[in-house]
Amino acid sequence: MSTESMQFEWPEGNPSNEAEFDRLMWALDKHLAERRGQPLHRLMGFYIEDALREARLDCGVTYAWRSESAREPGYAGEPLVAKAYRWYGQVYGVKVSGRNAVADMWSSGFFPAMLGNEAVWKVRIPIRTMGWPHVVCDAEDFKGSEGDSYVSHDAETVNVLRLVENLPLKLIDYMSEAEQTDLTAVCAMALCAMGWLHAARKILAANKTVAKKDRELLQHTRQDYVSSTVNLLAYNYAQSRWSSSQAIEKMIKGLLTLAGKKYPNVHDLSTLAGIMKKGIKVAPREDCVEIGMWPASARYDDTRTTLDECLQANHAVLRLAEQFSKDDMVVELLDGARAK
């Protein structure tokens, strides 16, 4: 039976107390888990309201409800719906906040940033629907919001401090102007890089003139970058360096594939960069290629690298993606591939 055709049933009617409400919500959650998957997806598209109506429960007549209604007595009408959404926050926490997971519906990715003394933080890259925003580092705005991390997907200006996961207000007082400037620049670069990579991987994946196994190279670039970030945050420095190297390798190979240029089955980034420079007249930044190189034999040896080097290698992936996004030859290459 299709999960779309399954209707929620609750013969007990509207709850009369908290215990009955909790039983209703657990049954409703199990139902939505089968139909909609992960917790955050269950809150999308008025699925909660629709399921309550399927069970013929009194949940009001509109889809507009106020969060403060959850404090009102009773379990019918608008208060029932408001309490249902509040229940998800109480039970699943960050799983439904969309702001603290390694991957979530509201973000195109994450990047690491060093703030304070040798402390690395995870910074969210919000999904954009209205072009690139102006990125600022506004301490007063962040303190005034009491650490609220909400950022609209179409805001013209984005405060990077709101994108840093669980950033303590007190740490802001110790951030130098240089740190604030660097964080702002890296965030702007990450927005550009991830936006370009998302578009480029879709073009490569849809190109039928390319062998199937090679269509996923730019998708693997993104996955390797995620691995680099996660391992860096977990202090697995060597693994992070290897993932950064793999991300750069597959990004270059992906563009060479789109250009129809052959390359040897090697991991050496300088060799691949040379082929790219000669074959499609695009020279990857030498500093990014240099810091990006990391041998497979050292992927488990954390003694051979430092936190700062890991951070540089991770950001080298973003810098190369940003470089390619603005290179006329790459733009022309992607435009030509899009038409195939």
Structure confidence by residue, pLDDT tens digits, 238-262? 999 999 999 999 999 999 999 999 9
Query: Whole-prediction pTM value?
Result: 0.73
Sign of CA dihedral 10, 13, 14, 18: negative
Phi, psi for residue 282 in degrees, rounded to 5: -125, 120
Quick: pLDDT tens for 257-279. 999 999 999 999 999 999 999 99
Domain boundaries, the chain: 3-97, 107-338
| 144, burial (CB in 10 Å: exposed 0-12, middle 13-18, buried 19+) | exposed
pLDDT of residue 63: 66
Architecture of domain 107-338: Up-down Bundle (1.20)
Which helix (H) or strand (E) segment holds residue 157: the answer is strand 157-159
